Amino acid sequence: MVGIKPTDLPPTAAVKFFGAGTAACIADLVTFPLDTAKVRLQIQGESTAASGSAVVKYRGVFGTITTMVRTEGARSLYNGLVAGLQRQMSFASVRIGLYDSMKQFYTRGSENANIVIRLLAGCTTGAMAVAFAQPTDVVKVRFQAQVRQSDGLKRYNGTMDAYRTIARDEGVRGLWKGCMPNITRNAIVNCAELVTYDIIKELILKYDLMTDNLPCHFTAAFGAGFCTTIVASPVDVVKTRFMNSSAGQYSSALNCALTMLTKEGPTAFYKGFMPSFLRLGSWNIVMFVSYEQIKRGLTRMQVSWESPF
């Protein structure tokens, strides 16, 4: 990331890798209820279309959260948290932690990366993260989407049970269900999120609007979250629908998108936009602010260990 002073020791690749995963987990802990509400709103049209009913169970972000707490208990807001933390520790460590290293790889060690190089680096690390950790995302979405039945039964009894059940019922390929739309989504999210944050922060520092501290990180992260939501929402809705679908419901992610378009109209691609924005905006703020502080803290610790006297 930009903004390091020449006198500062830049964080190592290991510090960035570990720091990104840790910061993403902190952000998930704070914003997970918003993410769960987003998933419920995104799949709502799917269930009503399948049943032929026009009853709308969830209305708005906070209405969804209130309904879930009333009908399923407060713990339902954190369904899939374990899988979510597993996902962030693996996803974010790769897609965010390796972003700077990938920029240097494409520029052959140079610090001057143009917009094309930044976009290419974001797409690369986003795709790498999905290929590595897609099963954790599938399980997270399944947990967030499941509703306790009237007889008290659940689709999955735990995180490991979900991995086993999906592999047994749908094959190992089921754990990588929606991999291609998720690669597309992560490439878009990474480009919109990291590149936008990079550029906004760079411009703020270039024109001396702020110093390289918390207000600067907050502003850049908020802008990155807004841009990311606008660009990534359609892909995110298709990804959620496809990964949560039963076997044979959709023949492909493209078929899922076309089904949504014909049955629900183009506005279906922006279902759950407000919770997506609230979640991505707040997630980006918490993640980037935490990431910057963790990088600095770990780098200071590294310096003190190497120079104890």
Of residues 259, 47, 36, the one with CA closest to residue 144: 36
Cβ neighbours around 266 below 10 Å, total: 9
* 99 and 119 within one domain: yes
Average pLDDT over residues 258-265: 92
Specify burial of residue 66 (Cβ count, 10 A radius: 0-12, 13-18, 19+). middle
Structural domain contains residue 255:
yes
* 130 and 187 within one domain: no
* 208 and 264 within one domain: yes
pLDDT score at 290: 96
36 vs 279: CA distance, rounded Å: 10
SS3 assignment, position 169: helix
pLDDT tens, position by position, 121-156: 999 999 999 988 899 988 888 887 776 555 556 778
Structural domain contains residue 4:
no
Report residue 21's pLDDT band, with 50, 70 and 90 as the boundaries: very high
Average pLDDT over residues 219-225: 94
* 172 and 84 within one domain: yes
SS3 assignment, position 246: coil
pLDDT score at 6: 39
* 223 and 146 within one domain: no
182 vs 131: CA distance, rounded Å: 9
pLDDT score at 69: 93
Structural domain contains residue 1:
no
pLDDT score at 7: 43
Structural domain contains residue 247:
yes
Structural domain contains residue 114:
yes
Residue at a domain's end among 177, 202, 225: 177
pLDDT score at 279: 81
Tokens of residue 150, six digits? 């009237």
Structural domain contains residue 33:
yes
pLDDT score at 184: 79
Range of the domain at 298: 11-78+283-308
Structural domain contains residue 277:
no
Taking each helix axis from N to C end, the angle separating 13-51 and 253-264, rounded to the nearest 10 degrees, works out to: 50
- Which helix (H) or strand (E) segment is 201 a member of? helix 196-206
* 45 and 32 within one domain: yes
Residue 167 pLDDT > 70, yes or no? yes
* 169 and 116 within one domain: yes
pTM of this prediction? 0.79
* Identity of the amino acid at 294: I
* Identity of the amino acid at 252: S
284 vs 222: CA distance, rounded Å: 7
* 173 and 146 within one domain: yes
* 171 and 150 within one domain: yes
pLDDT tens, position by position, 48-105: 555 555 567 788 888 999 999 999 899 989 988 988 898 899 999 999 999 999 999 9
Average model confidence (pLDDT) for the chain? 85
SS3 assignment, position 48: helix
40 vs 22: CA distance, rounded Å: 26
Is 229 in contact with 276 (CB distance < 8 Å)? yes
pLDDT score at 243: 77
* 189 and 250 within one domain: yes
The count of structural domains within the chain is: 3
Residue at a domain's end among 137, 156, 177: 177
pLDDT score at 55: 63
* 247 and 193 within one domain: yes
Residue at a domain's end among 141, 162, 177: 177
Structural domain contains residue 95:
yes
